[in-house]
Structure 1
């Protein structure tokens, strides 16, 4: 199947079909092959910020379950978020409302559906109650709804501090003066409108039927269900088991399978209430998003259209090498703090094309057959890298340099070693160049290792002792991290004694071989690290005092005043300048 072939039905293992409207990108999932198309369709209304990152995969799973029941669906990004364009003026809530209205019209036109179901999560559930009548919704699923906007913003502020502390950001590195979380800033006009929202004050019934998915211990969720019932709605209720495990961290998010089952069953009953759908329209192909200095083509590629990605090209002449942007962990292709999308567009404005995409079982790409559930640091992701390179080769986008951060940096490096089509590689804050197959990825991620220098600095910080006595620090995990790093120092000091007789030593020797191979192929390698990043310390341990200086193809750059995620804007700017320079030289 070609990258953007319009399909009359969804098949398991396929990514959703990209569509463009209202200066944003939507992902349309038709009814599944063999199902009886319903006259109802599902419009997803996303939460905002960190919560949206955590629930991106949930939306895909629910869309696929809805498709099996004959329900078409559409999910989309609000203007100024994700892969949508940035409005010319600062967006207000009306901007997002207009995009939702156009999304509903697009969904009805593509699916032929007469009835509309809204599924909202967090702030998106609040939008569903606000827009139900305007959009002509017949029913809604309200998941963890925000009942009071004022309380939500206070809660978001506390949540933001916890995320920043987890990232190791110092107070001066944090975004101040507005509502922000995980490097994302809620526009001031929208924040002001959200502050005034309170769905308990609803006086008119927004939809006839609703399923309220209630968080444990949140009385306001139950109160909203009761209020909607008092207005005359037919209300069903479902416990939100696993909510905290879903929204605590996009890298470690666990999907609430019991809740997905419950929502799917409710949708199935609703789908069977009326006759089949009306006439549908063919999908626009290709879907293009015209931006300021760039053109983006959201697409599907690889066998059976299983991977979702975005090809970003300059509006003017193209120059230099094309950049293949690998995502980090389970972050959607837009990246942490939307950094990958903004990097791609910055490159395009400077003449550089790029491809960003979700690897299998990440974000909007379904899992690959026979692949493990945990795909981070798995060699199975190399098949996704090859598929991306195949696409770029077929489109005539070469030469290619690979770039990524953390686990994306690891994949970029491994892909460069494995595939000679990669002409350069830019790993950022790579933790290791050879993953220990006996090490649990989940356990390693939960350990959140830091450099010995960082531990030393925190040891003399009074705040550390306050957090320790409050029980906010896992002392055993911290001591284990320190012990592992001391062992690696011993290996570096005496490679002859420890190198071949320890697992860490053997992996280090294998990494040496990888760098020798890249040097023999004359592949430029630019290693970028935040100052004090644990990956930089591991680099020194694995390669000793001499480091990689004997390889003329390897350059090491550091970015000052940056965390592992490159959250501060100045850190992102420094990274983009280095990446752009590398792409221009490789062309």
Structure 2
């Protein structure tokens, strides 16, 4: 399959720009039908990022222009979880995406495709429009009050503390993302089975095959006049695995694209209805500024300055993608007039954590980049090749977390920072695999002034190693220390005699610890004697520090 190129765009109001990708077909279908893809919420959105890209690419390959996008306060768009009126803002984001798709791709008719809460938002927005011909709902959230209970149970299952129920104003954390009390209250009022108007004339529901389906909602849609097709399909659980392990649900993809293709092949209604936005829609009369590749964001708390964010390809082949956050030119000029440099002196490169795209775990990189840029730094959030929205290099596979080509990617990103942002110093920060790649780039001689490594899984990656280390070295050390302390307690020996102690695990821990200590002392001696060593972390650290 030849995948059409995608174009990164910012759209929507100047003060609250949204980010998205337009996937244009090489050969548009005869009937101008467009597809807007609505992502789920929070960690599910990070896991589903790769799948939604595949859906958009497949739609464009079938002749249907597609737009995938980040809602207000999510992903690469402006704002954050704690802003007010989240539900209204998310629905408004769907409307603005629809208007952008109509304008950019010339679509008269639309279909919405949503995953989980994204299907809910798609249905709510579609019910306010008259140009949405079809809705594809993947594992939709029909009753949002039950969904919030599910999120609370998920957070409790992680073993992390949850806000006290009495603290109604406190945000509820869900795997690193926040739902404020106001957002929870607004969502709790949403029940798609109570909508008086069908969101579209034709609806495809793709339920999980391993859980009860949405027969009740399907019956309600049919009662309101919609033609409904419902399937129970495998693949959802694999789609929501950790980003480094996520699997695109092939059967869901096939069914959805085939269904969309049938809609695209149908001529518009003969009575001349051009499917214009509903006059009663809250967003139907919105004017949407032209899409663009850079935006300006306001300053935060003093001494912060306004910043510019640009969606950029970092190489001439338009393969490596990233987003550059830097002080706004006007603000930099004012600083120069006051005697400081017009360009940021320091550049910071943020590297993917595993398979998570450039927004970082829990959207951490977006927050860091915007804050640091407002303080005068140029910050580049990049996707290494094969991850996020950077395609793999020739001979490499998608979502290869420890790609051997990462050093080339980092070298290109550093060149981009020095040439495009005119920085004189470059630093790299990475989490997990990003920490590994930053360190190895420095060891390999990349022009980095410093490296920040957070929780690296390993310092010496070998093909076939597990990305889910069952017993990391730091766990061995802490467990060995704990066993040494409890060995002096009488109750520990009593538990041992009652058979309540896993002797095998203790033996494994202590042997691992003893082996680690012996290996460390041997390497110190060998290094002192000048003997060559493989996988010599000490020498690599010395080379970087020197």
Q: Same fold (TM over 0.5)?
A: yes
- Aligned match for 2:384, one of 355, 359, 364: 359
| 1:128 correspondence with 2:122 | yes
Q: Which residue of 2 aligns with 1:20?
A: 11
Structure 2 CA distance for partners of 1:252 and 1:33, relative to 1, 3 Å: same
Give distance in 2, aligned partners of 1:376 and 1:481: 28
User: Within 5 Å, which residues of 2 pair with 1:24-63?
Assistant: 24-34=17-27, 36=29, 38-63=31-56
Larger radius of gyration: 2
Deviation at 1:306, TM superposition (A): 2.3
- Aligned match for 2:312, one of 292, 295, 299: 299
Give distance in 1, aligned partners of 2:121 and 2:200: 13
- Aligned match for 2:259, one of 249, 266, 277: 266
User: Within 5 Å, which residues of 2 pair with 1:345-424?
Assistant: 345-395=370-420, 396-424=422-450
- Aligned match for 1:286, one of 288, 293, 316: 293
Deviation at 1:258, TM superposition (A): 2.2
Q: Deviations over 1:135-192 (max 9, x none)?
A: 33110110110111111011101112234x3xxx57799xx84322122101332211
Structure 2 CA distance for partners of 1:214 and 1:348, relative to 1, 3 Å: same
Give distance in 1, aligned partners of 2:411 and 2:31: 38
Deviation at 1:377, TM superposition (A): 2.1
Contact 2:313 2:321 in 1 (8 A): yes
Q: Deviations over 1:92-151 (max 9, x none)?
A: 322222222111111110000111110111111111221113233110110110111111
Deviation at 1:334, TM superposition (A): 1.1
- Aligned match for 1:308, one of 306, 313, 321: 321
RMSD: 3.4
Q: Deviations over 1:503-553 (max 9, x none)?
A: xx95442x3343343244xxxxxxxxxxxxxxxxxxxxxxxxxxxxxxxxx
TM-score (normalizing by structure 1) = 0.74
- Aligned match for 2:475, one of 418, 440, 451: 451
Structure 2 CA distance for partners of 1:116 and 1:379, relative to 1, 3 Å: same
Deviation at 1:76, TM superposition (A): 1.7
Q: Deviations over 1:296-327 (max 9, x none)?
A: 11223334322332100013334431001112
Contact 2:36 2:113 in 1 (8 A): yes
Contact 1:41 1:113 in 2 (8 A): yes
Give distance in 2, aligned partners of 1:106 and 1:242: 31
Q: Which residue of 2 aligns with 1:252?
A: 245
Unaligned runs of 5+ in 2: 269-273, 275-287, 300-305, 333-342, 487-501
Contact 1:13 1:367 in 2 (8 A): no
Q: Secondary structure at the match of 1:126?
A: helix
Q: Deviations over 1:212-242 (max 9, x none)?
A: 1101243342332232233222222233312
Q: Which residue of 2 aligns with 1:82?
A: 75
Q: Secondary structure at the match of 1:422?
A: coil
Contact 2:11 2:292 in 1 (8 A): no
Deviation at 1:388, TM superposition (A): 1.5
Q: Secondary structure at the match of 1:288?
A: strand
Unaligned runs of 5+ in 1: 1-9, 461-473, 500-504, 521-587
- Aligned match for 2:234, one of 223, 233, 241: 241
Q: Which residue of 2 aligns with 1:491?
A: 519
- Aligned match for 1:199, one of 170, 192, 201: 192
Q: Which residue of 2 aligns with 1:137?
A: 132
Contact 1:436 1:507 in 2 (8 A): no
Q: Deviations over 1:428-450 (max 9, x none)?
A: 2223322133x4234x4566775
Which stretch shifts more, 49-58 or 304-313?
304-313
Q: Deviations over 1:449-481 (max 9, x none)?
A: 752354468888xxxxxxxxxxxxx99999877
Structure 2 CA distance for partners of 1:148 and 1:220, relative to 1, 3 Å: farther
Q: Which has the higher contact order (CA 8 A, sep 6+)?
A: 1
Structure 2 CA distance for partners of 1:282 and 1:194, relative to 1, 3 Å: closer
Give distance in 2, aligned partners of 1:369 and 1:479: 46
Q: Deviations over 1:370-401 (max 9, x none)?
A: 11345222222223222322322331233211
Q: Deviations over 1:354-377 (max 9, x none)?
A: 100222232233333311345222
Aligned length: 482
User: Within 5 Å, which residues of 2 pair with 1:528-567?
Assistant: none
Give distance in 1, aligned partners of 2:513 and 2:318: 42
| 1:156 correspondence with 2:151 | yes
Deviation at 1:58, TM superposition (A): 1.0
Contact 1:242 1:255 in 2 (8 A): yes
Greater share of helix: 1
Q: Which residue of 2 aligns with 1:337?
A: 362
Which stretch shifts more, 266-275 or 402-411?
266-275
Contact 1:79 1:91 in 2 (8 A): no
Q: Which residue of 1 aligns with 2:217?
A: 224
Contact 2:244 2:401 in 1 (8 A): no
Which stretch shifts more, 117-126 or 241-250?
241-250
Q: Secondary structure at the match of 1:295?
A: strand
Contact 1:13 1:306 in 2 (8 A): no
| 1:115 correspondence with 2:109 | yes
TM-score (normalizing by structure 2) = 0.79
Structure 2 CA distance for partners of 1:492 and 1:121, relative to 1, 3 Å: same
Give distance in 2, aligned partners of 1:62 and 1:89: 30
